[in-house]
Chain A
């Protein structure tokens, strides 16, 4: 579903004397339907950076990242913004660590939005949002409020509900279980299992071994592609 070939990435910091920081070179990564691959490597090794590249949030300096979208392979490193937005709308979901929303919009709407954008009837999308919020133990009295007033853990669960509401063929999860209690972590693991069950291709960053061992079918160590790793 996702195929990265010979991918390289460096950052050039023009505001700091134009220093160039090489990050990756020669990354080869394949993600197939029904798989859940853990991206591993110590803190600061670039796991999130790599995930952002897969989502086209970061550009690549070289190589290609192809996504199977609408029955065809699309290279997101060269695709137009319009195509990338289409990929994100219908093919690739991303649960980030941050919730970025317009203030004032109710939680229920925020969670239902990706499904509404796909053309699902509003009431069906709302029902599914209610169901997910219930499973993730967000009290009903909060549903009509903006999540910007919530605690960090609650915001993260809203983010997860939003990320899992549509059945994306490819899913990227950046620390979906960080700062969750045991019960909610179990719910997230169940959601991941259900996504795998319907054939989603998943790449995730998980901070704890238990989560990784519970849901992952394989792992991918990003450190082996760090620039200078094999010198």
Chain B
């Protein structure tokens, strides 16, 4: 089925320096369609820096990010023109922020939040946009009658689901997530995890998810990368890394989880 497909994304020796300080250093990996990569590590370990550098939000000091585009084949993301890169970021890529306020426009309706991404790629048919937005609200389990409401009237969990709908409406192939379950209480988190896993499977999405929650990483990701001080210190099959960690820091991380 999906075996032996070409990588969708290839990251080579990615390094981000802030002056003398290391953001992330010499990170290399590949990601295939349908594959979920988790990145874990403590605060300040370089997870978010790495995510921003891969997702074309912050040009790295060194290294390349190659992406298999739909039209032009494999392209170095930082060699594209600004316009090409912007198009990629709002069509084939999606970015789910920890805080929905960073990913939503709070002063326009839920429907407009979803429709905006469609209009950005040239959809001009109002009725189509509206029905598409409505169907996505359904997929993320938000009632249709909230279509014209402002996101600011939504709960945190609903805002997060709306952000996901806004991102996935253009059928992206690669989704970046930065602590997507971060500020949510446990029952809402479970619902979101269930939703995300379903969408990943149904849409064959490739996902890079940054989280500090090892339980979330276990349930969602196929592979896990552990970061410490900007470097990847362990990388492998998720359950292998969590159940039989080799690196001292990973062992510390895993043994520090509270049991319930």
Q: Which residue of B1, B35, B222, B237 contacts A56 across the interface (Cβ within 8 Å)?
A: B237
**A85 CB–B CB distance under 8 Å:** yes
Interface centre among B191, B197, B219, B240 (most CB of A within 10 A): B240
Residues of A within 8 A of B35 (CB): 82
Q: How many residues of B contact A (CB 8 A)?
A: 27
CB closest chain-A residue, reference B5? A82
B236 sits at the interface (CB 8 A): yes
B255 touches A15 (CB 8 A): yes
Please judge, given known A-B contacts A14-B252, A57-B244, A59-B244, whether A102 and B197 are in contact too, CB under 8 Å. yes
Q: What's the nearest-Cβ distance from chain A to residue B225, in Å? A: 11
Interface residues of B in 226-251 (CB under 8 A from A): 236-240, 243-244, 246-248, 251
Complex CA–CA separation, A104 to B198 (angstroms): 12
Mostly helix, strand, loop or mixed at chain B's interface? helix
Q: A56 vs B193: C-alpha distance in the bound complex, in angstroms?
A: 25
**Contact B222–A58 (Cβ < 8 Å):** no
List the A side residues contacting B219 at CB < 8 Å.
Answer: 100, 102
Cross-chain contact A56 with B194 (CB below 8 angstroms): no
17 residue pairs A–B, Cβ–Cβ below 8 Å: A12-B246, A14-B248, A15-B251, A15-B252, A52-B244, A58-B240, A58-B244, A59-B244, A81-B223, A82-B3, A85-B222, A86-B3, A100-B219, A102-B190, A102-B194, A102-B219, A103-B193
Chain B residues with CB under 8 Å of chain A are 1, 3, 32, 35, 187, 190-191, 193-194, 197, 218-219, 222-223, 236-240, 243-244, 246-248, 251-252, 255
